[in-house]
Amino acid sequence: MADGKVALLLRKTGTLMGLDIGSSSIKLIELMRTPFGYELRSIAVISLPQGAVESTVVKDSAVVLQALTDAIEVAQPSTRKVAISVSGPAVSIKRVSVPRMPHDDLPAYINKRAGKYLDCDINKVFFDYQILGNVADNPTQLDIILASCKREVVEPYQSLLGKAGLQAVCLDYSAFCLENAAELIQGRATREYPDPMEDVHGKRWMRRTALWFEKKRIPMRWSEHADALVNIGVHTSDINILQNGHMSYVADCACGVEKLTQEIQHFHDMNYQDAEQMERIRSPEINSQALEDYYETLAAGLQQAFEAYAVKHAAHPIQKILVSGGGALIPGLEHQLEQRLGIKTMAANPFSTIRAKASRFNAGYLRAIGPTMMVSVGLALRGFDE
- 31 and 38 in contact (C-beta within 8 Å)? yes
In the beta sheet, which residues pair with residue 91? 149
pLDDT of residue 206: 39
Domain ranges of the chain: 7-192+353-384, 226-350
Which tens digit of pLDDT belongs to each residue from 41-83? Answer: 999 999 999 888 887 788 899 999 999 999 999 999 999 999 9
| CATH number belonging to domain 7-192+353-384 | 3.30.420.40
Would you call 352 exposed, middle or buried from its count of C-beta atoms within 10 A (0-12, 13-18, 19+)?
Answer: middle
Q: Do domains 7-192+353-384 and 226-350 have the same CATH topology?
A: yes
Where the chain has pLDDT below 70, the residues are 1-14, 187-224, 386
Within a 10 A sphere around the Cβ of 369, how many other Cβ atoms?
Answer: 17
Q: Residue 172 in 3-state DSSP?
A: strand
pTM of the shown model? 0.81
Number of neighbours of residue 56 by Cβ within 10 angstroms: 24
Q: What gap in Å lies between CA 19 and CA 29, rounded to an integer? A: 7
Q: Are 287 and 339 within 8 A, CB to CB? A: no
- Distance (Å, rounded) from C-alpha 221 to C-alpha 99? 34
CB 270, CB 278: distance < 8 Å: yes
Please, which residues bridge with residue 143 across strands?
A: 97, 133
- What was the pLDDT predicted at 213? 41
Name the percent of the chain in helix, strand, coil, to the closest 5.
Answer: 45, 30, 25
Q: What is the DSSP string of 83-109?
A: EEEE-GGGEEEEEEEEE---GGGHHHH
The 3-state DSSP class for residue 7 equals: strand
* pLDDT of the residue at 194: 36
Predicted local confidence at residue 224, as pLDDT: 61
How high does pLDDT run on average in the chain? 83
Topology annotation, domain 226-350: Nucleotidyltransferase; domain 5 (3.30.420)
The secondary structure element, H or E, covering residue 354 is: none
SS3 169: strand
- Identity of residue 213: F
Distance CA 332, CA 336 (A): 6
| H or E element, residue 33 | strand 25-34
CA atoms lying within 13 Å on the CB side of residue 107: 1
H or E element at residue 287 = none
Given the DSSP bridges, would you call strands 344-347 and 318-324 parallel, antiparallel or unpaired?
parallel
